[in-house]
Chains A and B, each alone.
Chain A
Amino acid sequence: MPAAEAPGRPLGGVVARWPSPATRLALAVSGAGLGLAWGGWVAIAVALGGAILALVAGRGRRLALAGLGLLPVALSSLALNALLPAGAEGVGTALDALARLLAVTLPMTLLFAATPLADLLADLEARGLDRRAVFVLGAALAAVPRAQERAREVVEAQRARGLDTEGTWPRRLRGLLPLVGPLVIGSLIEIEERALALEVRAFAAPGRRTPLRRFPEGPLQRPARWALAGLLTAGVAARVALRLAGLAPPAWLRPW
């Protein structure tokens, strides 16, 4: 039975010990938020920081895959903007959009590559987050892999009944249509089952849940989380204020 401390998924290098899951979340969210809001050098710094941390933590491959996933979007955006009359300015806009996309994608990918979802939820709950909020967050984050699993089951079931889901693209698309109904209806039924399953596990009981795991952390992490939250709030507020005033970010923040 796990008791005092969560081992977490082992991280490599210097980040093996210090950030608790909650601090990692604060770091990822603040980086992504600031990168998205400001773009330019801020976004580049966040993306680079994420990449360096990923390499140090031994998660470079996962991050590279996420970056590769953005390649089609990046290439099409660059091509489109280069062809438009805006010319060099258009390319700058496309590069800025790409930097923002990377700034959001890489820290969040690194967070979930280095932190098991169960650890993150347990840590948040142990720090006082409401059980319903924790469950909603967990269910939302687990929804995509769950939907993928269900889709795989439906595809296999339909294939077993003779549905052709391979071959040319038009044929594949035609093959997808009969999958939509079972997938949607199955997901709805499962949501209902899961809601009832929570009831039979006394999820609605009043009071605070018993935290089974604690994630010990040094004295600096709590203030660091508050500082990150403050930085994110101030950064986003400043960017919104500039936009409302019709001003561009300072030139030293814009590499293009």
Chain B
Amino acid sequence: MLVLDRVTYRYPGSGRWALPPTSLEVRAGQVVGVRGPNESGKTTLCLVASGLAPVAIGGELKGRALIDGRSTLELRTHELAQRCGLLFDNPSAQLTGLHRTVAEEVAFGPCNLGLPPGTVVERTEAALRLLGIEHLAHRDPARLSGGETQLVALAGLVALRPPYLALDEPVSRLDPERSAQVATAIERLAAAGVGVLVTEHDEELLARVCDLVLDLGGGG
């Protein structure tokens, strides 16, 4: 279970707490949505849930962030990546831009772990299949649409097999048709047992995919 227990966070060099005290739980296969106005701390919440804040970016965390019972503070970034993936709202920044095909791009994470080539290929193919984008495998990542890029970025995280994912406004830059593709992908992930935390303005997406929706800084 991904547990945030009264977490609040301050970025390095900032005197302001960027996240109001927040508690939530995400179980395996559950999709928890979080909504809130701009600047309410949605991105910060995702960074804290994934452990990147404060492990990778520094700053000060109050409260407890636990992934399957282990504090994110105890883990290194590559260990965090295998426990809770983080998808940013800008998918093109999430791709490396250094690979010729989508399959190689998705394989980047498993390759980083030094897994045997057969395992890398198996994980990559499974991630593409789970998100329904096998047909993109040999395409150039730089020539994808926004929705396709978002799905490829998501597949890149899924290939690391994290039990949880934090998705930061995954459809904020997409049109309704592409948003529907991402929603389908989230449903597939949940059905496969992945616990998903999704922050979003899009009420339609939240209503479609979430088991539970929370208001940041407010009630559930």
Contacts and interface: CB of A to CB of B under 8 A. Distances in A.
B98 A135 contact: yes
B180 interface: no
A131 B98 contact: no
Interface of A: 1-3, 116-119, 121, 131, 135, 138-139, 142, 146, 190, 193-194, 196-213
Given A118-B99, A211-B111, A213-B104, 16 more contacts: A1-B137, A118-B100, A135-B96, A135-B98, A146-B97, A197-B94, A198-B96, A199-B56, A202-B77, A204-B76, A204-B77, A208-B114, A209-B112, A210-B113, A210-B115, A212-B120
Interface residues of B, number: 44
B88 A205 contact: no
Q: Which of A3, A203, A206 has the most CB of B within 10 A?
A: A203
Contacts, number: 109
Interface of B: 50, 52, 56-57, 76-78, 80-82, 85-86, 88, 90, 93-101, 103-104, 107-117, 120-121, 124-125, 137, 156-157, 160
Contact of B93 (A117, A197, A201, A212): A197
A200 B111 contact: no
A69 to B, nearest CB: 24
Contacts of B81: 199-202
B90 A201 contact: no
Contact of A212 (B104, B109, B113): B104
Contacts of B117: 3, 210-212
Contacts of B50: 200
Given A116-B100, A138-B98, A146-B97, A202 B78 contact: yes
A142 B125 CA distance: 27
Contacts of A190: 93
B52 A209 contact: no
Contacts of B99: 118
Q: Which of B86, B111, B113 has the most CB of A within 10 A?
A: B111
A205 B79 CA distance: 8
9 contacts: A1-B103, A3-B121, A135-B96, A142-B98, A196-B52, A196-B88, A202-B81, A205-B114, A212-B117
A204 B93 contact: no
B85 A119 contact: no
Nearest to A134: B98
Nearest to B137: A1
Given A1-B124, A118-B98, A197-B94, A212 B57 contact: no
A146 B93 CA distance: 11
Nearest to A7: B100
B82 A202 contact: yes
Contacts of A118: 98-100, 104
